[in-house]
Amino acid sequence: MKDVMMMKTMTCEQLGGPCNSPHQGTTADEVIKAQDRHLKEMVGNGDKEHEAALKDMKGRWKNPIKGMGWYRQAKRDFAALPEG
């Protein structure tokens, strides 16, 4: 089976996290949401390294003006990625 949608991969690290767990998505929003879930899951499992990244992520939603720069950068990084 072949995906018709263009899947791209960004790692936790590329999205400001501490590990290189990959997230796949067809849009930047998808990988950002996957990262959000990943951070919550890791912290939920007691991972201390992801706590700071989760706090940053929450701060971005609370402070959209400040978080916008990060969001735009993540979208630019995603757009610049090769497919696959």
**Paired residues of 25 in beta bridges:** 8
Q: At what angle do helices 51-62 and 28-44 cross, to 10 degrees?
A: 130
Of the candidates 9, 14, 21, 27, which one interacts with Zn ion according to CB under 5 A?
A: 21
Q: Is 25 in the site for Zn ion (CB under 5 A)?
A: no
Q: Compute the least distance from the CB of residue 81 to Zn ion, in Å.
A: 18
Q: Is 17 in the site for Zn ion (CB under 5 A)?
A: yes
Q: Nearest residue to Zn ion, using CB?
A: 12
**Paired residues of 9 in beta bridges:** 24
The closest alpha carbon to 17, from 50, 65, 63, belongs to 50
User: Which residues bind to Zn ion, rule: CB under 5 A?
Assistant: 12, 17, 19, 21
